[in-house]
Amino acid sequence: MLEEKLQLLQGLLAQDSVDKREIKSLLTSLNSNERNMIIGKLSNTEYRKFIEVTLSVSFKLYDEVMKVCDKEYDRFVQTTNFFDQLVANYQPLSDEEIRQNILLVEKQRKKLVEGQDYAFLLYDALCQHTNLKASQTTILDYLDRLDLNLEFMTLYLDFLTIYTDSFIDRDVEKIKNSIKNSIYCARSSYLLEQSIANLEKNNSDSFLVLPIIQAPSSEGAHNSVIVLKNKENVLELTILDKGMHYSQELCQSVPTIVVKEQANSGFMSYLKSFFGESNNPNIKAAIPYVFELENSEAMRTRLSYLLGFGTSIIGQSIQLSVATREKKFLILEEELKKIASKSYWGKEIYDVQLYTKNCYIKSVSAAMQHILGDKQQSKTHYIQSEPAELKKIPHHSARTITVALAEIIKNRIRKLGYTQETTQIIDDLLGDYLTRKNQNYDTKGKYIETTKLIKKYGQKNDDVFEKKSHAAIDVSFIPNSYSSSYLKQSQVIGQQSSLLVKESLQLSDLEEIETVKSAIRATLAIHQEKTAERRTLSEVANVKGDSNKSKEEPEKQVKKENLER
């Protein structure tokens, strides 16, 4: 069988125009040992082409990165108290070094956005968000471009721009800046120490959201998200892992979630076995794990190195090498246990990774729900005899959030010059997603229907995502100001075309914002929601918000009532 796979791979590489997705599809059908065996049998010429095709980078860059990773792996396994030495040798960045790191991240975003596959990547992320596609991302896929899961976070910047009025008790601009800083830090871990120090105390709008990779087994990497806040005199670090891939020690202490109306437990047990690496005793729900750490300069420095171990390519590579060669797993979790003053399971519950292995994007979706949502109490789910907590984004459901993200994506790819066929493909995806949401399936029926759609969307090809023109776009994460199309045009009358104001990738034009908002309303109207349906834990029918004040300021109450109409 492996010989046949090798011959198939060699045949693909022999083609003049190599389909990267076919190669990735072939490799994902194998375990890590089988993949390594096959790749190891490629000739030097085949291997070079394999790297350049699958990673979309020059072999020279790949070779340089791998040499650094191998060197750092040797240093890690040969050094006692590896992180102690890093902390001892720490030198804070100068203002100029900080500026250069920020510029590098922005340059990497520009390369991602201007790439021929940008529209397909956003579409792929939306498929993962809707549980219709598994991730095929490796730690080397974004060597010189911004990571797709970080780009996915920028969609929520536009979501906040459109629905600012939904967050009347929050500082939306501060939330946006927190998301922006999270992207900088997740891509350049050198920025972490200062950003952690700048977190505002007891401010829910001041945070860092960091997608991380850990190796829970020798079979490969797993994505989760860490949310970091400054609480009282401690740093609160919350791990959101929809796959519940924690150590055996932690999983043995997971509190059991009691559900008043239990689902089909036999079929759910089957689904659980499909993701056999997880030790989660709860079938359909995940629970965050929280670490509290001393908020001191020394601890912030150590924490920045630990978090960088989960966000940087070098740190991720070390973890995977240690898992494969040393059989040591979840290094970041183990190191956090050593330095935490306190750790415990949270009271919040959220939907578990169930239908496909889409943790790369779904972990970010969970984090956005966590930071943007109002805290509520469930009347159907209990943890240790107390109502479980839920997070629900005000005035929104999974349906409306997904439609909003899709329309934001469509608006972006239109600006970038993609064809009408590209936006139609996203409309087709929305149609399948919303049709499925409208059906009152039982658990087994929903799983069967979702599995059919996963197979369908796993076959989509990126060659249908074509550009008809190329546009100069400003890729700033947060535009300087919001303005109108008329004002933009009036500013450049009589100027050379090279001096024209660039259109912003992020929503900033007032007319454009209203256009996208209208498109969201129109799509939702086409696919009317069945009022009896509730699909996610945050949309459980019997919830009561403990963060909703019984007596609000009159003008805020009027605004809320208008929004709900």
DSSP code per residue over 467-478: BS----EE--SS
pLDDT of residue 257: 87
Q: Is the per-residue pLDDT at 71 higher than 80? A: yes
Structure tokens at 101: 């790191």
pLDDT of residue 489: 43
- Measured from the Cβ of residue 98, the count of other Cβ atoms closer than 10 Å reads 17
pLDDT of residue 303: 98
Structure tokens at 408: 């934001």
Whose tokens are 């996963």? That residue is 454
The CA distance from 66 to 59, in Å, is 10
pLDDT of residue 197: 96
- The arithmetic mean of pLDDT across residues 197-205, rounded, is 97
The CA distance from 373 to 140, in Å, is 32
The CA distance from 354 to 271, in Å, is 7
Query: Over the chain, what is the mean pLDDT?
Result: 85
3-class SS of residue 386: strand
Higher pLDDT, 228 or 141: 228
Please, what's the b/e burial string for 301-324 (b: 16 or more CB within 10 A of its CB; e: otherwise)? bbbbbbbbbbbbbbbbbbbbbbbb
Q: Is the per-residue pLDDT at 276 higher than 70? A: no
Whose tokens are 């019984």? That residue is 550
> What interhelical angle do 265-274 and 443-457 show, nearest 10?
30
Structure tokens at 213: 């990779």
pLDDT of residue 529: 59
The CA distance from 370 to 230, in Å, is 16
- The arithmetic mean of pLDDT across residues 311-337, rounded, is 95
Q: Is the per-residue pLDDT at 545 higher than 90? A: no
Q: Which of 19-33, 39-53, 485-499 has the highest mean pLDDT?
A: 39-53
pLDDT of residue 490: 39
Q: Is the per-residue pLDDT at 381 higher than 90? A: no
Residue 26: pLDDT band with limits 50, 70, 90: confident
Residue 559: pLDDT band with limits 50, 70, 90: very low
pLDDT of residue 55: 86
The CA distance from 392 to 375, in Å, is 7
- In sequence order, which residues have a C-beta less than 8 Å from that of residue 221 and are 6 or more positions away? 138, 139, 213, 214, 215, 316, 319, 320
- In sequence order, which residues have a C-beta less than 8 Å from that of residue 539 and are 6 or more positions away? 392, 397, 398
∠ CA 555-525-176, nearest 5°, is 50
| Range scoring the smallest mean pLDDT among 229-243, 273-287, 292-306 | 273-287
- What's the residue count for the chain? 565
pLDDT of residue 531: 43
Output phi, psi for 485, to 5 deg: -60, -40
Q: Is the per-residue pLDDT at 275 higher than 50? A: no
Higher pLDDT, 143 or 181: 181
- Helix (H) or strand (E) holding 364, with range, is helix 359-372
For residue 242, what are the CA distances in angstroms to 118, 190, 292, 315, 418?
Answer: 26, 27, 21, 22, 33
Give me the residues paired with residue 106 across strands. none
3-class SS of residue 504: strand
pLDDT of residue 483: 46
What does the pLDDT look like over 175-189, one tens digit per residue?
999 999 999 999 999
- Helix (H) or strand (E) holding 292, with range, is strand 289-294
What does the pLDDT look like over 204-251, one tens digit per residue?
999 999 999 999 987 778 999 999 999 988 999 999 999 899 999 999
Please choose, from the candidates 130, 153, 539, 32, the residue with its C-alpha nearest in 3D space to the C-alpha of residue 354: 130
DSSP state, 229?
E
pLDDT of residue 537: 60
- The arithmetic mean of pLDDT across residues 387-391, rounded, is 93
The CA distance from 549 to 565, in Å, is 19
Listed by start position, the domains of the chain span: 2-55
pTM, two decimal places: 0.87
Higher pLDDT, 444 or 198: 198
Structure tokens at 285: 């729900």
Output phi, psi for 136, to 5 deg: -115, 20
The CA distance from 209 to 227, in Å, is 5
What does the pLDDT look like over 454-501, one tens digit per residue?
888 876 666 678 888 888 899 999 876 554 443 444 344 444 444 445
Q: Is the per-residue pLDDT at 37 higher than 70? A: yes
